[in-house]
Structure 1
Amino acid sequence: MAERIDGTTDMAATDMAATDIAATDIATLETAAAGPDGGALRQEATALLRALVGHDAAEFHDGQFEAVEALVSGGRRALVVQRTGWGKSAVYFVASLLLRRRGAGPTLIVSPLLALMRDQVAAAERAGVRAAAINSANQLEWGQIQEQLAANTVDVLLVSPERLNNPRFRDEQLPQLVSSSGLLVIDEAHCISDWGHDFRPDYRRIRDLIGQLPDRVPVLATTATANSRVVHDIEEQLGVRSTGEHDGGVLTIRGPLARASLRLGVLRLASPRARLGWLLTHLNDLPGSGIIYALTVSAAEDTARLLREAGHEVAAYTGRTDPAEREQAEAALKENRVKALVATSALGMGFDKPDLGFVVHLGAPSSPVAYYQQVGRAGRGTPNADVLLLPGTEDRDIWEYFATASMPNEGTATAVLRELAAPGTVLSTAALETLVNLKRSPLELLLKVLSVDGAVRKVSGGWEGTGQPWAYDAERYGRIAQARVAEQNAMLDYENTSGCRMEFLASALDDPAAAPCGRCDNCAGSWYSDSIAAEATESAGAALQRAGVELEPRAMWPSGMDKLGVPVKGKIPPAEANGSGRALARLTDLGWGGQLREVFGTDAPDREVPAGMLKACVQVLAQWGWAQRPVAIVNVPSRSRPLLVQSLARGLSDIGQLPYLGELAVPHGGPRSGPGGNSAFRLADVWDQFHVPDGGEAWLAQNRGPVLLVDDLADSRWTLTVAGRALRLAGAEAVLPFVLALKG
């Protein structure tokens, strides 16, 4: 199956098959490489390495040249599992140049993130490697890059895994690239595996890509975060040959993953206020510049705002950050113009700053492997870097939220295939939304999974069925779900362990060299202070109690609503639209989010709005700054929390001395489904379900002005949109929605 280089025998590998090759240590391969051909190759490769890193005395790390030699001389398939900063990119850049000198075609690198591509292209250019990238951010350059490929003036081409399924690229360009490539590189190869902490469906296409390669073309897969199960999965996929048979000659070079520069610690604090207070107190004590990770977009944005208000130079970096702003933020951190980026996992693989001095987590990632991947950004080129985890009681709830959003569902998968079953049927994702009740992001993820499984195919104009049989692999997804739960429990074990923290993380990655580090808080004692300045606690508390999030009104009807019996399309007419609304907070907020999650918990009883929460809502209304004060309050009826919604509406009415007109009527029984689903189905469900209360039209005719529309929770916002439309059609001059919580 696989030849391993790690100085030990991998017992997990020997259990896989009787034909498994015995482990070979690096010294043996070095001896083989020192022969006449190997010696000359090493000299040539070393010269290229020195040009790459800009140091005349640079030498290969253990395993680097052996990987280069296996690719260039042996035409082999290799997997390199080494810690971040070890120099995996040096292996494929040096190998690429050596292969090009020997007449091979360009190297094709599948790379997952734009930040990674930018860094790799820059590094390649420094070494004289002619590199280019094809991704969603440089479409204007594609034509020029294709001309360069045709002229054979590109040494390395980087593509995103999603590009492999772009119809034009897949059908017109990829076949030529496959036939002419001199080397295929799969960066962040753990994404290939179901078991990888950052599995991506599009990466599974690479198995088919490997199978299409001429057998003479070497393949290199690299990752810093793969345990034995992921390693075995990658080896299986690397071994696929064009004949359909499996090659047992995969060479795996696996080094120790622990980084001696990292000083790990876990500090348990009682509340979000205490965690933010600690950060305000000690951010400047942390070495150099670094990254503060948060679990949600709102937590990252709120933390960045708090730190900036306290005078710290920081910036937020999330999936909501504009691509151009992301690039600017990355540059600011690399150039030490900011103390930190406050980031979600959007800043992960591919960000390269060798002197990153610290990583702090406000809340824990859902697995030790994911945690190691993020903390591995620090201390790559410095002797010391500090890594501190500040876990939160809300972490598990956030883990579960994201876990349930990422798994395909058998019912929706079957529905998608049914809609695409007729020959000649091509539907866009937007069109499928009107036929299958699934939101855009999970629908796109499901289509990727079905495409990789061969059941659907992306074509010009959308998606079509292939007619190939497909069955929901319940056993597989069940195993993955169980593995995710085990990973979450392991993360809790990391937080609570009394043993060495680095040894724990290395063991989670099945590193045979895992050993006590002598530096973490458990090995050497707490290196961080748990003191929190009183003024920092007050500032954090005030920030967390800050209430009010804008609730943007819907501006467009979903496309294809006529198929669901709803006669609307295009822009929502101004005379039927809501104005800008407000929410007390997001469910994911660090401040009010915790209390709101308790109120909206699955097992939480319906009760009157808490007094403190009602007071905060009044503060939001007082700070709204509306052009005209509302003349009345109406609430949306609620099946699950009628007491909560009515008490909120009546409370705001009493305190604000605004007439309460009651709740909207539902003469047709109200919406048939609960919250959730995609926009088209949600709109169809609530369409024409709400009417103004008895006497409401007459009252609105005599009292001109805005109406405050109250509800408990906003998700898709179609309930508020349709309810507001009913009020507008009944004579309300404007409708201002107000809800306790904004989901997401």
Structure 2
Amino acid sequence: MVPEAAPVTAASSLRDDAEAALRRLVGREDAALRDDQWTAVDALVSRHERALVVQRTGWGKSAVYFVATRLLRDRGAGPTVIVSPLLALMRDQITAAARAGIRAATVNSANVTEWGEVHAAIARGEIDVLLCSPERLNNPAFRDEVLPRLAADAGLVVIDEAHCISDWGHDFRPDYRRIRTLLADLPAGIPVLATTATANARVTADVAEQLGVTGSEASAEVLVLRGPLDRESLHLAVLDLPDPAARVAWLAQSLGTIKGSGIVYCLTVSAAEEVASQLRAAGLEVAAYTGQTDPAERERLEGELKDNRVKALVATSALGMGFDKPDLAFVVHLGAPSSPIAYYQQVGRAGRGVDRAVVVLLPGKEDRAIWEWFGSQAFPPEETVRATLAALATDAATSIPALEARVDLRRSRLEAMLKVLDVDGAVKRVQGGWIATGEPWSYDAERYARVAAARRAEESTMLAYQRLEPGTAGACRMAFLRGVLDDPELADGWACGRCDACGGVELPEAPSVEAVEAAQAGLDRVGVEVVARRQWPTGLGALGLDLRGRIPADEQAAPGRAVARLDGLGWSVQLRELLESRDADGALIDGETPVPLRSAAVRVLQDWEAIWDGDTSRTVIDGVVAVRSASRPVLVDHLARGLARWLQVPFVGAVAPVPGREAPERHDVNSAIRLAGVVRRLGLELEPSPDAGEVLAGQRVLLVDDLTDSGWTLTVASRLLRRAGAEAVHPFVLGVR
């Protein structure tokens, strides 16, 4: 019996050590590992295997890799490398690691000044865990100098939020795909752990396949542990309200009645900022948290929420994976994410350490337009990719600004495309920019089409979730989400008994008429600043334009105004309907300015101090010029002439396409190419009317257009007017994209 007893004793000793490490990690003497947690730890520490853990949010996936790290380090292994997607996640994990006596450090965009010391501490053996962002994997210095040493000496490699590896995941990130290279370069015997809460069967299989990549032809065996995805504390509900004002009013009226603090998710930055402003005006302690929030401010706001010093953060998806507040009492979505998988991931922030958390979805009619915009950022067509590869086929590295002059993509889309090409081995990021590798590369149109089709299918599934009818058979919201995620333990006919469809949640009443009116008054605010361009983009010489550096002050536009942004609430809804409506043939619908928007435009002018003489209450504007539109000529001309009449100044003329160049320019290209097209296309057409004054000499001009996004049309039009003698140009547009 002795031969059989020895391994049992060893395993028991290892589990005892593991649970001691867990107790230090969580600060509780009664803590014990779940069965699957122990299975994963044992596989990593005893057999140095590769494992994929797919478990619900709050299950304790991070405990697996911190406990395994403690055990491996105690047995002489090298440091753990954790690839982690968000700064919030890194901060929480470093704090958790310290409780278990694990020395953790991070390298990311927010601590650049500390990188040198972190790398030195790793070399001295003083770091147990290094957390790095996926983007860091392709920083040339980190990739070529630091990562090979880490890969050679690592005791454990962890890929957190591993669904990001997969094309089929709701949050695919090209940078994550570089992990394949990292895995292939690992010496034999280094254990690997991947974790996620949001992976259906297809994503799980895809991630497991990639996790098995090695430097040899044979794939490594991957242990896959999937558990049930039910969250017993979550009470799910959908509330269908007629318009943004009703939704904001419900929030303002209801958040104060829900105990505890939570998160209100919005689909866009503008909506988050607008809603936060509205809720603060209603007396609620809230703050906006978006991708545009300064990193130091993000950290402060996370602390405010964790300490319950705010009722809610009104956030975009920037506050997402890894944010850890066990007592988060509610998650409300003002607008639906395009994927039920993403929705499950976000609502999973709530109810980790409390018995009950309220989760409410307030969908809007505008959601689908926002989904379509994000969908339009997909991988570019083959001819654009080939042009990029040709532009990079030089002896020297090409910077992004220089590449923009030769490739017709916006910078964000160009950078995303380069990351995919890098993963595919066709290009490589080096010091100074990018180079083509010369490796064979094929455009996988079939794969891109499948991914696009999968995205559309997820959108349809999200709409189906919203349409579940409370009280009807099989209409359980948690069962629906578990089914979408292919929960292996979901039984036929199971229902949670806690959601609105099961009759297990009661929401605050619909907002009163007075509350909706108050919200509508807040959303009725008009006027956002349009910041004029001050600098020409680089690379215009390659396009035949002698424009470089700072735009001369006497050729610049003054700061302008718009009624609203297109990605917010309030007037944004009417603007989207006006500017994005198409007929049965797909052509943009044109017509006179709708009466409500005429009034909104006048209100913007009334509040615009720069165009009024404060002493006399007279406008300083001498004339109005329109930017003639190829797609909406009636709208822009009607708006410009109407504003001229209201200001009681002449309509001077238009900035218009020169003969033979009437075709509108593409709007989805980068700054340099967009600007070059605008410069070549536009000229002045002044009215031959005697009341137009002496052309433009010394005149202050109101420049009117329907929509601005890059700002180059307004910049070029203003330059033309200033060079023709205008003393000042004040741009005015209906919407800002």
State TM-score, norm by structure 2: 0.94
Give the counterpart of 1:439 among 401, 410, 424.
410
* Pairwise CA distance, 1:686: 1.2
CA contact (8 A) 1:433 1:680 kept: yes
Q: Does 2:631 align with 1:658?
A: no
Question: What is the SS of the residue equivalent to 1:605?
Answer: coil
Partner of 2:709: 715
Partner of 2:117: 144
Give 1:690's aligned amino acid: G
Partner of 1:634: 625
* Pairwise CA distance, 1:703: 6.8
Partner of 2:36: 63
Give 2:121's aligned amino acid: Q
CA contact (8 A) 1:273 1:537 kept: yes
1:478-497 aligned at under 5 Å gives the runs 478-497=449-468
1:43-122 aligned at under 5 Å gives the runs 43-122=16-95
CA contact (8 A) 1:267 1:530 kept: no
Partner of 2:686: 693
Provide the rounded CA distance (Å) in 1 between the counterparts of 2:643 and 2:546: 35
Partner of 2:607: 623
Pick closer, same or farther for the CA change 1:163–1:665 going to 2, 3 Å.
Answer: closer
CA contact (8 A) 1:81 1:225 kept: yes
Give 1:588's aligned amino acid: D
1:168-200 CA-to-partner distances (Å, cap 9, x unmatched) read 111111111100001000000000100011000
Pick closer, same or farther for the CA change 1:33–1:545 going to 2, 3 Å.
Answer: farther
Partner of 1:181: 154
Q: Does 2:592 align with 1:608?
A: yes
Q: Does 2:267 align with 1:295?
A: yes
* Pairwise CA distance, 1:676: 3.0
1:550-561 aligned at under 5 Å gives the runs 550-561=529-540
Provide the rounded CA distance (Å) in 2 between the counterparts of 1:420 and 1:704: 47
Q: Does 2:306 align with 1:334?
A: yes
Q: Does 2:515 align with 1:531?
A: no
Question: What is the SS of the residue equivalent to 1:685?
Answer: helix
Q: Does 2:634 align with 1:674?
A: no
Structure 1: which 5+ residue stretches go unaligned? 1-30
Question: What is the SS of the residue equivalent to 2:35?
Answer: coil
CA contact (8 A) 1:708 1:737 kept: yes
Provide the rounded CA distance (Å) in 2 between the counterparts of 1:130 and 1:161: 21
CA contact (8 A) 1:670 1:686 kept: no
* Pairwise CA distance, 1:529: 3.0
Give the counterpart of 2:424 among 437, 453, 460.
453
Q: Does 2:711 align with 1:727?
A: no
Provide the rounded CA distance (Å) in 2 between the counterparts of 1:690 and 1:60: 72
Provide the rounded CA distance (Å) in 2 between the counterparts of 1:539 and 1:418: 57
Give 2:480's aligned amino acid: F
1:458-480 CA-to-partner distances (Å, cap 9, x unmatched) read 00000000000111100001111
Provide the rounded CA distance (Å) in 2 between the counterparts of 1:243 and 1:676: 43
Q: Does 2:700 align with 1:706?
A: yes
CA contact (8 A) 1:333 1:339 kept: yes
Question: What is the SS of the residue equivalent to 1:709?
Answer: strand
* Pairwise CA distance, 1:704: 3.5
Q: Does 2:562 align with 1:589?
A: no
Partner of 2:197: 224
CA contact (8 A) 2:697 2:724 kept: no
* Pairwise CA distance, 1:207: 1.2
Partner of 2:296: 324
CA contact (8 A) 1:700 1:730 kept: no
Give 1:518's aligned amino acid: G
1:339-488 aligned at under 5 Å gives the runs 339-422=311-394, 424-488=395-459
Give 1:640's aligned amino acid: S
CA contact (8 A) 2:563 2:601 kept: yes
1:488-538 CA-to-partner distances (Å, cap 9, x unmatched) read 000011111231101111111100223311100011255113321233211
Give the counterpart of 1:242 among 198, 212, 215.
215
Provide the rounded CA distance (Å) in 2 between the counterparts of 1:313 and 1:112: 29
Provide the rounded CA distance (Å) in 1 between the counterparts of 2:546 and 2:304: 50
* Pairwise CA distance, 1:395: 1.0
Give 1:555's aligned amino acid: R
CA contact (8 A) 2:697 2:727 kept: no
Partner of 1:507: 483
* Pairwise CA distance, 1:97: 1.1
CA contact (8 A) 1:631 1:703 kept: no
1:410-453 CA-to-partner distances (Å, cap 9, x unmatched) read 2221110010123x131011111111010010000000000000
CA contact (8 A) 2:201 2:485 kept: yes
1:304-340 CA-to-partner distances (Å, cap 9, x unmatched) read 1111111111101111211121111111111111111
Pick closer, same or farther for the CA change 1:665–1:438 going to 2, 3 Å.
Answer: closer
Question: What is the SS of the residue equivalent to 1:353?
Answer: coil
Question: What is the SS of the residue equivalent to 1:664?
Answer: strand
Give 2:599's aligned amino acid: K
Give 1:432's aligned amino acid: L
CA contact (8 A) 2:696 2:726 kept: no
Give 1:500's aligned amino acid: C
Give 1:488's aligned amino acid: E
CA contact (8 A) 1:266 1:388 kept: yes
1:597-636 CA-to-partner distances (Å, cap 9, x unmatched) read 1212243421000111111100001001116421111101
Partner of 2:187: 214
* Pairwise CA distance, 1:700: 5.1
Pick closer, same or farther for the CA change 1:727–1:33 going to 2, 3 Å.
Answer: farther
CA contact (8 A) 1:287 1:385 kept: no
CA contact (8 A) 2:235 2:504 kept: no
1:199-227 CA-to-partner distances (Å, cap 9, x unmatched) read 00011111111111112000000001000
1:250-292 CA-to-partner distances (Å, cap 9, x unmatched) read 1111111110000000010111111111111111012210000
Pick closer, same or farther for the CA change 1:32–1:700 going to 2, 3 Å.
Answer: farther
Give 2:265's aligned amino acid: Y
- Runs of 4+ in structure 1 deviating by more than 3 angstroms, as ranges, are 31-34, 665-672, 694-698, 700-705
Provide the rounded CA distance (Å) in 2 between the counterparts of 1:78 and 1:562: 53
Identity percentage of aligned residues: 58
1:326-374 CA-to-partner distances (Å, cap 9, x unmatched) read 1111111111111111111111112111110000001100011000000
* Pairwise CA distance, 1:585: 1.0
Q: Does 2:108 align with 1:135?
A: yes
1:667-722 CA-to-partner distances (Å, cap 9, x unmatched) read 34446523331110111011152225156998356874421000011011101100
Provide the rounded CA distance (Å) in 2 between the counterparts of 1:381 and 1:693: 68
Provide the rounded CA distance (Å) in 1 between the counterparts of 2:401 and 2:53: 40
Give 2:488's aligned amino acid: P
CA contact (8 A) 1:124 1:131 kept: yes
Question: What is the SS of the residue equivalent to 2:68?
Answer: helix
CA contact (8 A) 1:665 1:693 kept: no
Partner of 1:647: 638
Provide the rounded CA distance (Å) in 2 between the counterparts of 1:607 and 1:61: 65
Provide the rounded CA distance (Å) in 2 between the counterparts of 1:462 and 1:212: 24
CA contact (8 A) 1:555 1:571 kept: yes
1:643-690 CA-to-partner distances (Å, cap 9, x unmatched) read 000000011111221211122244344465233311101110111522
CA contact (8 A) 2:290 2:317 kept: yes
Partner of 2:548: 569
* Pairwise CA distance, 1:244: 2.9
1:35-77 CA-to-partner distances (Å, cap 9, x unmatched) read 1111000111111111111111211123111111110001110
Provide the rounded CA distance (Å) in 1 between the counterparts of 2:446 and 2:306: 45
Provide the rounded CA distance (Å) in 2 between the counterparts of 1:307 and 1:541: 13
